[in-house]
Structure 1
Amino acid sequence: MKKVSISLIAGILLGIIVTALFFDYETPWTTYTYSGTDSLSEPTITKAIDIDFLFYMTIFSLVGAILVYLVWTYAENKRHEKFLAEYHKGKESRRNQ
C-alpha cells in the first residue's frame, strides 16, 4: 500500500512538472475574450479550466506512477536476489568447512 501511494504521489508530481514544462503551460483559469469589433472594447474575463492541461497531466501522471512502481519493484527484486545469492554463498562456504 505504501508503494502504491508513494508511486501515485510521485506520478502526479511528475505529470504536473512534465506537462508544465513541455506544453508551455500558462494559467488555465483565466481567458480573455474580446466581444467588440474595435480594439478599444473591454475584454470579457472568463474563468475556465484548461481541459487539455488536465488531460495531459492525467496521462503523464498515470504513466509516471506506473514507471515509478515498476522501477521500485525491480529494485526491490534485485535487492532480494542479491541478498539470497549472498546468503546461499555463505551457507555453502559453511558446509565446505
Structure 2
Amino acid sequence: MRALDLDDTSGCPLGVRCESCGIEAEGLAVVTAAMGSLGVACLTMCPTCAGSGTPPNVAVATAVRLVAQHCGHLGITFDDMAEALDGGGERR
C-alpha cells in the first residue's frame, strides 16, 4: 500500500463554523484530529479550538461519520486508514 498522509486536508471542505465551539469566526481552518481508535477525522475549527489540541467531544456515531467523511476526502476506505495507522501512516 502506498504511504498515506492521513493529515492531508487538501481535499477537505472548509465549513462555515467551528465544529467544536460552533462560532462563525475569522481564521477558520480545516484540521485533523484522532478520533480514538476509530481513525482520523477532518474538522473545521477556529484558531482557539484548533490550538487547544483537544478534538470536540462527540458521540461514537458522529466520530464514525467524521472519520468516514475524511476517508472519502482522501479517496480511501476505513480499511485503508486502519492499515495506514497500524503501519505508521504519516501523521504530523
- Give the shorter-chain TM-score range: under 0.3
TM-score if structure 1 supplies the norm length?
0.23
Greater C-alpha radius of gyration? 1
TM-score if structure 2 supplies the norm length?
0.24
